[in-house]
């Protein structure tokens, strides 16, 4: 199980939902929540994302901040695209049986022949006597 580096001076606090809050202290000594873990323990992903967000670990802070923000945006976009793709797949899967049932019925057709002649005439100008 990965652990947080001692030099970061971070603590963990158990939550009611079983996850952990990672707690740090600001310059005035006040506590703040750094991150909430995705699981009941600290994972490699938690440690890596905290390292990525540490502005002091970059030689050039501006460049590091841009890289970090670009990484977050790219991750969000890929996650959004994946969610959208899964949603469309779910819709297609749900619609499949309905479409199949409707088109497989004998005598079913989709065309203008189903419009009664008198409505066609009414709509397009042939007058009744």
- Could you state, in order of their start, the residue ranges of all structural domains in the chain? 1-53, 60-104
Are 19 and 7 contacting, i.e. CB atoms less than 8 angstroms apart? Answer: no
Q: In the 8-state DSSP scheme, what is residue 113?
A: G
CA dist., res. 36 & res. 34, Å (int): 7
Q: In what order do the strands lie in the sheet with 31-36?
A: 11-14, 20-25, 31-36
- 13-58 pLDDT tens trace: 999 999 999 999 988 999 999 999 988 999 998 898 888 887 777 7
Answer with the residue of higher pLDDT: 73 or 58: 73
Does the pTM surpass 0.85? The reply is no
If you average pLDDT over every residue of the chain, what do you get?
83
Helices (H), ranges, 6-115: 44-53, 61-104
Three-state SS at 55: helix
Please give the distance of CA 56 from its chain centroid, rounded to a whole number: 30
Are 34 and 4 contacting, i.e. CB atoms less than 8 angstroms apart? Answer: no
- Residues pairing with 12 in the sheet: 22
Q: Sign of the CA dihedral 61, 62, 66, 72?
A: positive
Are 36 and 22 contacting, i.e. CB atoms less than 8 angstroms apart? Answer: yes
């Amino acid at each position: 199980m990965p652990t947080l580096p001692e030099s970061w001076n971070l603590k963990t606090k158990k939550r009611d939902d079983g996850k952990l809050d990672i707690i740090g202290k600001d310059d005035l000594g006040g506590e703040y929540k750094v991150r909430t873990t995705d699981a009941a323990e600290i994972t490699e992903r938690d440690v890596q994302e905290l390292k990525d967000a540490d502005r002091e670990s970059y030689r050039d802070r501006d460049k590091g901040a841009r890289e970090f923000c670009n990484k977050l945006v790219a991750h969000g976009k890929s996650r959004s695209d994946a969610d959208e793709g899964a949603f469309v797949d779910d819709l297609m899967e749900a619609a499949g049986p309905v479409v199949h049932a409707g088109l497989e019925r004998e005598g079913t057709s989709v065309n203008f022949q189903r419009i009664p002649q008198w409505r066609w005439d009414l709509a397009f100008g042939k007058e009744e006597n």
